[in-house]
Structure 1
């Protein structure tokens, strides 16, 4: 019986030691499923979250495949996965807002603080040489600055590949701005690689280029491009009612909507009270940062895990503001 106090002390000592072991906080965070969505910016953000949540907060993190509609639908109906790091919510705003109002889901940080951006762009070297070109109307006054690849006497507006929604909206904008009567033709880029290649060629040869693109993307991290002002606000009813349709005969001038991009959490994970919630409610980055990271990933054929490690090693000034100094020190260990 005299040995029991010693055994009790040993157990107490072991329990105290466990609280000092990195990862022992897992009990306060637990198992977390994070959606690894199937586009580059979302993939790298999911891996950044995995590294910070696991190393910094002791969470047991599992990445699960995802995409916007299936992931958010599963979160609304089944409560899994726990985290959608980069949810582009414009297309699912109504049911998502309802789920948030009912307390089933919660908005955390704006993943992209600038939002997702769409529109017509020109190279920065053209914008610098012609400071009068600020809007789409301004650009359409100068077909000679944006020669079409196969019609040198015409200006070219580069379109999206067939089957993409932006092929319809760009074609509608081309009609709405009466670009044909201003000396322009629509340029069929054929594929994503063709569209990117046309931007690369124009920048490397210091030539003119005009067309549709979006951010954040790797090509805008590699080449300086300037988004033209539409000169009009977003007309949601006309945009969705005609400009996005195949049979839109009378499209209107309208800006593209800026996409709202949030991190979304399930109620179960929100209620764990883990300090990791504070990180997910703070973590937000700008399109310039994402563009540059995606450009590095593309140039180096890097996957999401590679990109996450590269970002955390090379951008402590950005991500350490998302966490406490203690968490930052844990994450930096072994990078």
Structure 2
């Protein structure tokens, strides 16, 4: 927007609720949709009375689930059906899982359904918390380096898939009935996490009168692969957000030139 359209752009990191307040009051032009821990499967929902406008899909869907490394799935394809997980509990046992198979989670502060799923699906597993997302990533990388099997709670889009290919274990299909039941009683959940399409929202006035800037934001759309590429540059290569974006822009003019046309 700065180099191609001549705007001055300030980026501000704000928590979700203050972001919606700023958007409704005209203090923020755009709020990207987001999904990931600790909000298990929750889409970013605008309050209906706030003057914001749906600016279309980001191009990425967010999803939380259970994953195993691809090398383990290739060797044991039936592990990808939750009904067969108990068959592999002994192989997925760790010193921390108390004689059961380990389901690796991140921070205890994450709001997940994993303990309920283990109980309600009668799985011979123990949820083990790494303590944080960073610690979970470290553990996953170590398992992969040693070519050990593991089962982990994880989400997409996420750059770690670029380094450790993982395949999702199919849990009982999500349904609105299951979701509603889970909202009333989280301990009753017995289905998969939902998939949420991530969207962009603009302040209503800016959406109507924002000119080329609003047009750019409405056109902006990329893939999970694009997002993971930038995130990996920041997380692993330690690039700043601006440097990571600049590198991506240089690599993908065929994508972003459509946004400024």
Correspondence for 1:57: 5
Q: 1:90 to 1:106 in 2, by over 3 A?
A: farther
Greater helix fraction, Structure 1 or Structure 2: 1
Deviation for aligned residue 1:141: 2.7
Residue 239, structure 1, aligned to residue 187, structure 2: no
Residue 187, structure 1, aligned to residue 128, structure 2: yes
1:157-306 pair list within 5 angstroms: 157-166=103-112, 169-179=113-123, 182=124, 184-234=125-175, 235-243=178-186, 248=187, 251-272=188-209, 274-306=211-243
Residue 143, structure 1, aligned to residue 86, structure 2: no
CA distance in 2, matches of 1:288, 1:239: 31
* Residue pair 1:87, 1:263 contacting (<8 A) in 2 also: no
* Residue pair 2:158, 2:231 contacting (<8 A) in 1 also: yes
**Equivalent position SS for 2:227:** helix
Q: Looking at both structures, which has the greater relative contact order when contacts are Cα pairs under 8 Å and sequence separation is at least 6?
A: 2
CA distance in 2, matches of 1:192, 1:65: 20
Q: 1:92 to 1:321 in 2, by over 3 A?
A: closer
Q: 1:321 to 1:211 in 2, by over 3 A?
A: same
Larger radius of gyration: 1
Correspondence for 1:109: 56
- TM score, norm. by length of structure 2: 0.87
CA distance in 1, matches of 2:162, 2:92: 22
CA distance in 1, matches of 2:197, 2:116: 23
How large is the RMSD of aligned CA atoms in angstroms? 2.3
* Residue pair 1:160, 1:188 contacting (<8 A) in 2 also: yes
Deviation string for 1:247-289 (max 9, x for gaps)? Answer: x3xx231211223321111122122251333322222222233
* Residue pair 1:148, 1:185 contacting (<8 A) in 2 also: no
* Residue pair 1:232, 1:253 contacting (<8 A) in 2 also: no
How many equivalent residue pairs?
A: 254
Q: 1:318 to 1:207 in 2, by over 3 A?
A: farther
CA distance in 2, matches of 1:301, 1:281: 29
CA distance in 1, matches of 2:15, 2:101: 37
Return 5+ residue gaps in structure 1 as ranges.
1-52, 325-335
* Residue pair 1:221, 1:294 contacting (<8 A) in 2 also: no
CA distance in 2, matches of 1:94, 1:83: 12
Correspondence for 1:127: 73
**Equivalent position SS for 2:109:** coil
